[in-house]
Homo-oligomer: A and B are copies of this chain.
Amino acid sequence: MSIQYILELLGTFFFAMSGALAVSEQDEEQDWFGAAFTGFVTAIGGGTLRDVLLGSYPLVWIEDIRLLYIILAGIACSGILYRWLERLRRTLFLFDTLGISLFTIVGTEKTLSLGFRPEIAAIMGMFSAVMGGVIRDMLTNKVPVLFRKEIYSSACLMGAAFYLVLAGLHVERNTNFIVSIVFIILLRLAAVRYNLSLPKFRSRKCMGKSSRYTSP
């Protein structure tokens, strides 16, 4: 088994757990099927969108049935263990951070290896990481993870760019995997700890001015 495959299995497992726990945190009435479905969509959504956009068939989870059982294992674990996952928010954050950092690099590398340009690889790396969560949020009618204040999707895009730069500098592939994944994890930890955010699209001053004109 390649390191890439192991990372993909791990990312899938963490995403299935974070997806199933996310739904149970929201809705106490959620049944097992709903939680499992949400875990499943969170785990496969990003990679599926990437492969459909690239026209890369068969999709990984359709070709490799082991992923399906990894997802079921992740859902079962989160259902059984959540009593012991006492600080649920922190656990969710950890699983999600591991999931997005692994999937960003796996998705970027896969797109590159299919012969696409680095710009496309960076976008697809980010999509692999965040789109599972975005689809989950769309299904459950929440404001998508994309538009949260702290650096989230942009951390994935920066991580993908970081991986591509190191690859351009001929850094050894497995080293690059690990370094770039750690880079994304640190970026996320820093963003949440120091409450970092990107500049606003519209500064306050201009906003006040134009809102006079945009009011109906």
Residues of A within 8 A of B (CB): 20, 23-25, 27-35, 37, 48, 52-55, 57-59, 62, 65, 68, 79, 82-83, 85-89, 116-117, 119-120, 134, 138-144, 146-147, 149, 153-154, 157, 197-202, 204, 206-207, 209-210, 213-214, 216
Contacts and interface: CB of A to CB of B under 8 A. Distances in A.
B52 A62 contact: no
B214 A25 contact: yes
Contacts of A53: 48, 52, 59, 62
A64 to B, nearest CB: 10
Contact of A88 (B23, B25, B200, B213): B213
B65 A24 contact: no
A47 B189 CA distance: 37
Copies of this chain held together in the complex: 3
Given A140-B147, A149-B29, A201 B87 contact: no
A201 B55 contact: no
Contacts of A55: 55, 57-59
18 contacts: A25-B214, A28-B200, A28-B207, A30-B200, A30-B201, A33-B154, A33-B157, A33-B198, A34-B201, A55-B55, A65-B117, A79-B201, A83-B206, A83-B209, A85-B210, A86-B213, A138-B138, A139-B147
A26 to B, nearest CB: 10
A210 B52 contact: no
A143 to B, nearest CB: 6
Contacts of A206: 82-83
A32 B87 contact: no
Nearest to A212: B86
A147 B25 contact: no
Contacts of A207: 28
A88 B202 CA distance: 13
Contacts of A52: 52-53
B62 A210 contact: no
